[in-house]
A and B are shown apart, each in its own frame.
Chain A
Amino acid sequence: EAGVAQSPRYKIIEKRQSVAFWCNPISGHATLYWYQQILGQGPKLLIQFQNNGVVDDSQLPKDRFSAERLKGVDSTLKIQPAKLEDSAVYLCASSLGGGELFFGEGSRLTVL
């Protein structure tokens, strides 16, 4: 079974530039999550989708972050404009609903 796919694996940008991350969940998984993991900390949930609807985006900085999940499958997370403190690994996860979350390998963002 193919796992959660994320791209790009690494991205370096300058502050005030924009960046987008893509996630393809496990086939059939209705729930999709984006997490932010700053070095030395545990992952923090940014947004949770159920199919193509948002379940929880309470910790998403909406002035600069946006996410969408068109057609209830793939998802993109965008940051515009980026700040230095956005340097982190962005993890995508999916689940059938409840229970086990399956994580991708993450996209590492460095903002200079």
Chain B
Amino acid sequence: DAKTTQPPSMDCAEGRAANLPCNHSTISGNEYVYWYRQIHSQGPQYIIHGLKNNETNEMASLIITEDRKSSTLILPHATLRDTAVYYCIVRQNDYKLSFGAGTTVTVRA
């Protein structure tokens, strides 16, 4: 699996958009970008994934650059319940999911 680089932590204000960056410069053509989050004392939760195109669901949007070497997860209106560790993972489908250290996001009132 390609490795990813994420900032260790970031803060954002409640009600504002949170933009979480991820670098994956060694991603290969058949690897997807996945995002999971882990709220304290819970198991990781799937957020979204994509290959080339931008994706949106009820939780977030995923923006992947044209060269696929980086991506941004956007939480459009952050709430206090979005405080969690966010993991960016690149993975071939049906292949193992390998977690890094992630970004600890703190949403402040």
Q: Residues of A at under 8 Å CB distance from B? A: 4, 33, 35, 41-45, 48, 56, 91, 93, 97-106
Residues A44 and B99 in contact, CB atoms below 8 Å apart: yes
Residues B93 and A91 in contact, CB atoms below 8 Å apart: no
Tell whether A99 pairs with B93 under 8 Å between CB atoms, given A42-B87, A42-B99, A42-B101: yes
CA–CA, A55 and B43, complex, Å: 22
Q: Which residues of B contact A41 (CB under 8 A)?
A: 101
Tell whether A103 pairs with B44 under 8 Å between CB atoms, given A45-B96, A97-B94: yes
Smallest Cβ-Cβ distance to B98: which chain A residue: A45
Chain A proximity of B93: nearest CB distance (Å): 4
Consensus secondary structure, chain B interface: loop
What's the tally of chain B residues with a CB closer than 8 Å to chain A?
A: 19
Q: A45-B96, A45-B97 are in contact. List 4 more A-B contacts (CB 8 A).
A: A42-B101, A43-B99, A101-B36, A106-B43
Residues B43 and A105 in contact, CB atoms below 8 Å apart: yes
Residues B44 and A43 in contact, CB atoms below 8 Å apart: yes
Consensus secondary structure, chain A interface: loop
Q: B71-104: which residues lie under 8 A (CB-CB) from chain A? A: 85, 87, 93-94, 96-102
Q: Which residues of B contact A99 (CB under 8 A)?
A: 49, 93
Chain A proximity of B6: nearest CB distance (Å): 10
Smallest Cβ-Cβ distance to B99: which chain A residue: A42
Residues B43 and A48 in contact, CB atoms below 8 Å apart: no
Query: Can you name 30 A-B residue pairings with CB atoms under 8 Å?
Result: A33-B96, A33-B97, A41-B101, A42-B99, A42-B100, A42-B102, A43-B99, A44-B99, A45-B98, A48-B96, A91-B43, A91-B44, A93-B44, A97-B94, A98-B93, A99-B49, A99-B93, A100-B46, A100-B49, A101-B44, A101-B46, A101-B97, A102-B46, A103-B43, A103-B44, A103-B45, A105-B41, A105-B42, A105-B43, A106-B43
